[in-house]
């Protein structure tokens, strides 16, 4: 399923892509600090910008893609789990994004970037970010 908003507290923005990078609709995008907007990975969970709303294959040129940007700390999103199993008792716990920026890692977490707000199934739930950068008010 990838990521998709669960609340209405999101804004659409256009951002430039990075040369030779593949983007998948539904993945989290982050900025690496050098003006490159890249897919989030297990070690790049800070500076998150938003959720890609379209796919783009790797190419030698940059283009713009649309992303949904959280407007506040209360912006929630649906997420699938990758490794591990979610339980109702995990509500309030923090989790990491898995490599590729498309799933949540329920088994092991280092950064605790996403907080489980509502348990849905053993492999999905509603989450919010524990730290939002670039939030527009």
- Helix/strand/coil for 59: coil
Q: Is 83 exposed, middle or buried (0-12, 13-18, 19+ CB in 10 A)?
A: exposed
Structure tokens at 71: 């407007």
pLDDT confidence bin for 35, thresholds 50/70/90? low
pTM above 0.95, yes or no: no
If one counts every other C-beta atom within 10 angstroms of the C-beta of residue 43, the result is: 11
Per-residue confidence (pLDDT) for residue 134, from 0 to 100: 43
pLDDT confidence bin for 7, thresholds 50/70/90? very high
Contact 103, 82 (CB under 8 A): yes
| Mean pLDDT of all residues belonging to the chain | 83
Output the CA torsion sign for 24, 30, 32, 36: positive
Per-residue confidence (pLDDT) for residue 10, from 0 to 100: 94
pLDDT confidence bin for 130, thresholds 50/70/90? confident
Average pLDDT over residues 21-38: 80
Per-residue confidence (pLDDT) for residue 103, from 0 to 100: 85
User: What does the domain layout of the chain look like in residue ranges?
Assistant: 9-70, 76-129
Q: Is the pLDDT confidence value at 107 over 80?
A: no
In tens, the pLDDT along 49-93 reads 889 999 998 888 888 999 999 998 889 999 988 878 899 999 999
């Amino acid at each position: 399923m990838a990521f998709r908003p669960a609340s209405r507290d999101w804004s659409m923005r256009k951002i430039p892509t990075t040369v030779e990078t593949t983007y998948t609709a539904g993945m989290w995008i982050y900025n690496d600090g050098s003006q490159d907007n890249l897919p989030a990975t297990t070690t790049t969970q800070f500076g998150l910008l938003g959720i890609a709303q379209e796919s783009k294959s790797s190419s030698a040129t940059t283009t713009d893609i649309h992303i949904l940007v959280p407007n506040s700390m209360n912006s929630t999103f649906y997420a699938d789990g990758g490794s591990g199993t979610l339980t109702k008792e995990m509500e309030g716990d923090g989790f990491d994004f898995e490599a590729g920026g498309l799933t949540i890692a329920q088994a092991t977490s280092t950064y605790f970037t996403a907080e489980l707000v509502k348990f849905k199934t053993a492999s999905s739930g509603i989450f919010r970010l524990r730290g939002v950068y670039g939030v527009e008010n």
